[in-house]
């Protein structure tokens, strides 16, 4: 659910460390090393994301990573282990999102980013704020927003933070409503 609510790149979520999460300020500070742009990035966390993180902390809070690996990797790691993308994709498939279950299309970790973009833009949300929430850089949009250089934006990882927080909260409420509605729907029993 965190992948759907925070829409980071899969590698950033899977390698996320507790030290980078500020539950009080409701912010996730992704270090430069974990970003494709190699610049630090701040992700505002919705109330639901914070609830999930608090629950997750009871399970993995004594580890470095939010999602610690179960077994050590075969290759020497430069940092402590966390779960792999393959593990995450297998979990999504086990939930039925492998394309074989009616009503559930094939899905991947990165697909949450596409879903966020499509839903936000279809709902008329601001394009630049949506791109910034994903950590995307659109040179034309940045120029329209008054940035004279790409470097100027990259050093301002909290640019439009309030707008991104509002977008995250809107998106989270939308998902929570769908989640709660699905929980209320009686499930059909499979016949043998």
Q: So what's the pLDDT on residue 88?
A: 77
Euclidean distance between CA atoms 125 and 119, whole angstroms: 9
Summarize the confidence of residues 31-42 as an average pLDDT: 82
Give yes or no for a contact between 98 and 106, defined as CB atoms under 8 angstroms apart.
yes
In this prediction, residue 69 has a pLDDT band, given cuts at 50, 70 and 90, of confident
Euclidean distance between CA atoms 128 and 153, whole angstroms: 12
Q: So what's the pLDDT on residue 136?
A: 76
25 vs 186 pLDDT, higher one: 25
136 vs 134 pLDDT, higher one: 134
Summarize the confidence of residues 39-53 as an average pLDDT: 93
Give 103's contacts (C-beta < 8 A, 6+ positions apart). Answer: none
Alpha helices in the chain (DSSP H): 2-6, 10-14, 47-60, 85-94, 111-122, 127-133, 139-144, 150-154, 161-184
Q: So what's the pLDDT on residue 72?
A: 57
- Does the pLDDT value for residue 104 go beyond 70? no
- Does the pLDDT value for residue 152 go beyond 70? no
The lowest-confidence range among 1-5, 71-75, 135-139 is 71-75
The counts of H helices and E strands in the chain are 9, 3
Percent of the chain with pLDDT over 90: 35
Where do the DSSP E strands lie in 87-155? none
- Does the pLDDT value for residue 183 go beyond 90? no
């Amino acid at each position: 659910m965190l992948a759907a609510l925070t829409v980071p790149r899969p590698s950033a979520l899977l390698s996320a460390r507790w030290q980078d999460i500020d539950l009080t300020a409701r912010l996730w500070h992704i270090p430069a090393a974990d970003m494709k742009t190699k610049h630090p990035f701040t992700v505002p966390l919705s109330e639901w994301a914070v609830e999930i993180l608090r629950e997750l902390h009871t399970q993995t809070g004594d580890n470095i990573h939010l999602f610690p690996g179960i077994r050590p990797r075969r290759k020497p790691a430069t940092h402590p282990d966390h779960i792999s993308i393959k593990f995450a994709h297998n979990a999504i498939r086990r939930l039925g999102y492998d394309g074989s279950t009616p009503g559930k299309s094939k899905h991947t970790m990165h697909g949450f980013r596409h879903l966020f973009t499509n839903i936000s833009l279809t709902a008329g949300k601001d394009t630049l704020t949506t791109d910034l929430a994903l950590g995307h850089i659109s040179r034309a949009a940045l120029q329209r927003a008054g940035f004279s250089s790409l470097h100027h934006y990259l050093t301002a990882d909290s640019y439009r933070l309030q707008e991104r927080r509002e977008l995250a909260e809107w998106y989270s409420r939308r998902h929570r409503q769908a989640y709660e509605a699905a929980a209320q729907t009686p499930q059909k029993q499979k016949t043998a």
